[in-house]
Amino acid sequence: MRNAAVATYGHRRRATGARAVSALSVCRRFGLSGFLTSAVAVLAVAAPWIFSPYTLYLATLAAVYAFGAIAVNLATGYIGILSLAPAGFYAVGAYSAAVVGPHAGDDLIVVSGAAIVISAVLALVLALPVLRLKGIYLAIATFAFALVVQRIIVALDDITGGNVGKSIGTLKVVGWVVPNPTSLYFTVVVVLAIGLVFSFLLRSSASGRAMFMVRSDEAGAAVAGVNARRLKAVAFVLASVYCAVGGVLYGYVVGFVSPSNFDILLTIQFLAMAVIGGLARPAGPLIGSMFVVIVPSVLSAFQTWIPAVYGALIIVVILLMPGGIAGLGAQLGGALGRWRASHAPPSPEEDAEASSSLSITEKKAVR
């Protein structure tokens, strides 16, 4: 009787533990981030056939905004630079499409190349003095850069159109005219896919691991031989390149640019996308950009409240989901791990203790 009770007790705990191990293994192996990325990839391919024209436009806009979110992810998530400059570099890309585009036949490769060179040079010049700062001082300095870019665009009204703005022509790729919204959508998605793959490869590379080391402990990274200043400059320049390409695509998707498109709200949007999607996770910017583009369309009647909604969402995610939507898999895996530990199969010592307790109980019952 005693042995049967112990065996039943152990069997139940082993079965429960096995189910927890199975669920935990699936969660850790595939993760919510991987599942969402796969779902988004399938949805991206099928979007032109299942979405309305307006929804397809929103999906294209979300893909374009994802470049800015990736830039925030690289600077803040990978190496810990609190940069508010993405809106400025995004404006550089968009106005490259407006100003350089007509002289380059609106070719994506030529215009993007010009935007990348301009943004990279500006980022490198800015990085030399600004990256000596940290925390709020670094954030203010980079935000000042974005404001300066906006004011320069207004001042050069003969070239940029000033406050009135400037229209942009039809996109071409190596001489091929992008004929319709569906073709434009797929062009943006292909370029974004290349950017996401590079971001993922960087994260898993030796340089990416060094960036995470700098973010976690800059002094310790220096002791390990990591040149933190050089890595920060590289990350800052790479972030500017992503913003430049995203700005070029944004210009051709919208067809018109003005200085008001690149204000503080755009920076808040990029930050919201990166944090809500999941900082330091390659799929986070894509998931976050889709979420943030959907929110304004749902709350179209409350446009003045959009910044407040973004701020509230950031606070909620930081408090309840530190890893963002893309990190929910790891968060659930941790919860399952704790549950598994509390329902783990008994060890031999626990079996012996349970057997001893049953033996004492039986002896008392006999007496």
Average pLDDT, 10 consecutive residues per value, the chain (367 residues): 44 43 44 63 83 89 93 92 93 95 93 96 93 89 93 92 91 89 93 92 91 90 89 94 96 93 88 85 82 74 71 77 69 57 60 54 50
Q: By CB neighbour count within 10 A (0-12 exposed, 13-18 middle, 19+ buried), where does 219 fall? A: exposed
d(CA 269, CA 276) in angstroms, rounded, equals 10
Contacts 24+ apart (CB under 8 A), 36-40: 36/283, 36/287, 36/325, 36/326, 37/283, 37/286, 37/287, 40/283, 40/286, 40/287, 40/290
pLDDT at position 108, please?
Answer: 94
Place of tokens 């070029």: 248
H or E element: which one contains 176? strand 176-177
Q: By CB neighbour count within 10 A (0-12 exposed, 13-18 middle, 19+ buried), where does 127 fall? A: buried
45's tokens = 């391919």
Domain spans, the chain: 52-261
DSSP reduced 3-state for 280: coil
pLDDT at position 18, please?
Answer: 42
H or E element: which one contains 78? none
pTM of the predicted model, to two decimals?
A: 0.80
pLDDT at position 355, please?
Answer: 58
- DSSP letter for each residue of 83-118: ---HHHHHHHHHHHHHHTGGGTTTBHHHHHHHHHHH
Place of tokens 């008994």: 346
